[in-house]
C-alpha cells in the first residue's frame, strides 16, 4: 500500500540534532588522599581521549569545598562532547573521618537540584546544561587485604545516589596474582556489604545487555595506573611510570586496565550512564523533592 516512508532516517535526524547541541558527560573521582586521583584526571585528558580535543576551560568551584573540575570539549565526526572530570580532595587524613562523605554527597545533590530548578522554570531552556554526575569513580587502596570500614561506608552512601564504579588505585604496586586475588576479595566484600556498583544487574534490559555486562562485572573493579609523564618506548611516546623493571605503560592493556576503564566509560557505556543517571538517580531525587514540598 505504502511506499517508502523514511522512518529509518530517525538515526540521521537524531544525529543531526546531537551534532547541533552536543552533550555533557561528567565523571567524579573520590577516595582516600594520595591514591592518585588528581593524577588520573590528568591521565584521562592526556590519553587518547583528548588527542583531538579543543578549547579547554578550567574552572575552580568554591575553595571551601575544594572540589575542582576540569573540562575539555572533544569533537568527533561533528559531534561535540563536553567532558568534565570533577576531582575531590582526598579524605582519611583526619583522626575523625565521620561524615567525610558529606561534601561529596552534597555536591551530587546540588547538581540534581540545579537541573530540577531549570526544569521547573516557566521559561525553560531548550537544552538544560547538565552538571549532574553521570559516574563516580571510587578509588580503593591497593592494600591486597580488605576494604576499610570507611570505604564500605562511603560506597554504600554513594551507590544510592549515583552510578558507582569502584577502581583499584596504583595497581602497579601489586603483582598480577595479588591483583586478581584482591579484585575477587573486593567483589565479595562489596556483595556481602550490599553495595551495588554500575552496571547493576537489575538494569540489564535484555540477554544481550546481560551477557555484555556480566563480562564487565567480572572484570571489575578495574585496576588502574595513572601518570602524566611520557616516556619513549619502542620509538613511541607513551604515558607511563618508570620503575626499576621498566616503564609501566598506562594505556597498554597488558600492563593495566586504565584503557579498559576509559573505553567502558567514554565509549561503550556513556549513553547508558547518562540514562541511568536521569531515569533512576535524578528521578528518585526529583520525586522525593516534590513530595517533600507538597507536604
Residues that bind ligand GDP (CB under 6 A): 33-39, 90, 170, 172-173, 225-226, 241
Nearest distance from residue 18's CB to ligand GDP, in Å? 33
**Span from 35-43, 55-63, 120-128, 205-213 in contact with Mg ion (CB under 5 A):** 35-43
- Phi, psi angle pair for 246, to nearest 5°: 125, -170
Question: Which residue sits closest to ligand GDP, CB atoms considered?
Answer: 36
Nearest CB to ligand GDP, comparing residues 36 and 199: 36
- Give the one entry of Mg ion, ligand GDP, none that residue 34 binds, where binding means its C-beta sits below a cut-off of 5 to 8 angstroms depending on kind: ligand GDP
Nearest CB to ligand GDP, comparing residues 135 and 276: 135
Nearest distance from residue 227's CB to Mg ion, in Å? 14
Nearest distance from residue 87's CB to Mg ion, in Å? 6
Nearest distance from residue 48's CB to ligand GDP, in Å? 18
- Give the one entry of ligand GDP, Mg ion, none that residue 193 binds, where binding means its C-beta sits below a cut-off of 5 to 8 angstroms depending on kind: none
- Give the one entry of ligand GDP, Mg ion, none that residue 172 binds, where binding means its C-beta sits below a cut-off of 5 to 8 angstroms depending on kind: ligand GDP
In 3D space, the residue among 17, 53, 10, 22 whose CA is nearest the CA of residue 274 turns out to be 22
Nearest CB to ligand GDP, comparing residues 130 and 249: 249
**Span from 32-40, 53-61, 167-175, 190-198 in contact with Mg ion (CB under 5 A):** 32-40
Nearest distance from residue 273's CB to ligand GDP, in Å? 22
Nearest CB to Mg ion, comparing residues 62 and 176: 62
DSSP string, the chain: ------GGGHHHHHHHHHHHH-EEEEEEEEEBTTSSHHHHHHHHHHSGGGTT-EEEEEEE--TTTT-EEEEEEEEETTEEEEEEEEE---B--SS--TTTTHHHHHHHHHHHHHHHHHHH-SS--SS------SEEEEEE---SS---HHHHHHHHHHHTTS-EEEEES-GGGS-HHHHHHHHHHHHHHHHHTT---SSPGGG--SHHHHHHHHHHHHHPSEE------EEEETTEEEEEEEETTEEEETT-TTT-SHHHHHHIIIIISHHHHHHHIIIIIIHHHHHHHHHHHH-
Residue 38 interacts with Mg ion (CB under 5 A)? yes
Nearest CB to Mg ion, comparing residues 32 and 262: 32
Given the rule CB under 5 A, which residues bind Mg ion? 37-38
Amino acid at each position: 500500500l505504502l511506499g517508502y516512508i523514511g522512518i529509518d532516517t530517525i538515526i540521521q535526524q537524531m544525529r543531526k540534532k546531537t551534532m547541533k547541541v552536543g552533550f555533557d558527560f561528567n565523571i567524579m573521582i573520590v577516595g582516600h588522599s594520595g591514591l592518585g586521583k588528581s593524577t588520573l584526571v590528568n591521565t584521562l585528558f592526556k590519553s587518547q581521549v583528548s588527542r583531538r580535543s579543543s578549547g579547554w576551560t578550567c574552572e575552580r568551584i568554591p575553595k571551601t569545598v575544594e572540589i575542582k573540575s576540569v573540562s575539555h570539549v572533544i569533537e568527533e565526526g561533528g559531534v561535540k562532547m563536553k567532558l568534565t572530570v570533577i576531582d575531590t580532595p582526598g579524605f582519611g587524613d583526619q583522626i575523625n573521618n565521620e561524615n567525610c562523605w558529606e561534601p561529596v554527597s552534597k555536591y551530587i545533590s546540588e547538581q540534581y537540584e540545579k537541573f530540577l530548578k531549570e526544569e521547573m522554570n516557566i521559561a525553560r531552556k531548550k537544552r538544560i546544561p547538565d552538571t549532574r554526575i553521570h559516574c563516580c569513580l571510587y578509588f580503593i587502596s591497593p592494600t591486597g587485604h580488605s576494604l576499610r570500614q570507611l570505604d564500605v561506608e562511603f560506597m554504600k552512601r554513594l551507590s544510592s545516589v549515583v552510578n558507582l564504579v569502584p577502581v583499584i588505585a596504583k595497581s602497579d604496586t601489586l603483582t598480577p596474582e595479588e591483583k586478581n586475588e584482591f579484585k575477587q576479595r573486593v567483589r565479595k566484600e562489596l556483595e556481602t556489604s550490599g553495595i551495588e556498583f554500575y552496571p547493576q544487574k537489575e538494569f540489564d534490559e535484555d540477554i544481550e545487555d546481560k551477557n555484555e555486562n556480566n563480562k564487565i562485572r567480572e572484570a571489575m573493579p578495574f585496576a588502574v595506573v595513572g601518570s602524566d609523564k611520557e616516556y619513549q618506548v619502542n620509538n613511541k611516546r607513551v604515558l607511563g611510570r618508570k620503575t626499576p623493571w621498566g616503564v609501566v605503560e598506562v594505556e597498554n592493556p597488558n600492563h593495566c586496565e586504565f584503557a579498559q576503564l576509559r573505553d567502558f566509560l567514554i565509549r561503550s557505556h556513556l549513553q547508558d550512564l547518562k540514562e541511568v543517571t536521569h531515569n533512576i538517580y535524578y528521578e528518585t531525587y526529583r520525586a522525593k523533592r516534590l513530595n517533600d514540598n507538597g507536604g
